[in-house]
Amino acid sequence: MKIKHCLILLVVWLAAVSMAQAEVDARVVRTLQLKATPLDLVIPANGRYIYVLTANAELQIFKTNGELHDTLPVDPGVNRIQAGSREDRLYLINSAGNRIQELDLVFIHEIPVDGSPTKGALDAAVTVVVFTDFQ
């Protein structure tokens, strides 16, 4: 008899729990302002950049804070993008042309040297920077 009562209580308890309503709250964290209609979006695993493929054959690269970092032209037939194993590797998919292009992105970072001690011509084509004091 006790087992029967326990089972009945368990069934009643499960029915009550399953009827509980769940709630979801949402808020807009950021909005990316695009220059054209988006076709596809990908965020690599490390999440440092957001890549958006647009309908006017451009790849817009956003920083995670929503700032537009750069815009690159792509083949007009590209209709999807896929992240590679590294943040600087993307695959451009052209379904109609049966092509996949592997894109190697090179991020150029400018290092300001204004006010730093220099040797040689200030308008030289190459600047070599040596960091010798790490204290």
Query: Residue 79: pLDDT band by 50, 70, 90 thresholds?
Result: very high
The answer to whether the pTM exceeds 0.75 is: no
Three state DSSP letters for 27-94: CCCCCCCCCCCEEEEECCCCCCEEEEEECCCEEEEEECCCCEEEEEECCCCCCEEEECCCCCEEEEEE
Confidence (pLDDT) at 55:
94
Query: Residue 6: pLDDT band by 50, 70, 90 thresholds?
Result: low
Confidence (pLDDT) at 17:
59
Domain segments of the chain: what residues? 31-104
Confidence (pLDDT) at 57:
93
Query: Whole-angstrom Cα distance, residue 57 to residue 73?
Result: 6
Task: Calculate mean pLDDT across residues 41-52.
Answer: 89
Q: Select the more confidently predicted residue: 129 or 14.
A: 129
Confidence (pLDDT) at 20:
60
What residues form DSSP beta bridges with 71?
60
Class in CATH terms, 31-104: mainly beta
Confidence (pLDDT) at 7:
67
Task: Calculate mean pLDDT across residues 22-38.
Answer: 86
Confidence (pLDDT) at 12:
66
Do residues 94 and 76 lie in contact, with contact meaning Cβ atoms separated by under 8 Å?
Answer: no
H/E element, 11 = helix 2-18
Task: Calculate mean pLDDT across residues 34-57.
Answer: 90
> Would you say the C-alpha torsion 48, 34, 91, 81 has a positive or negative sign?
positive
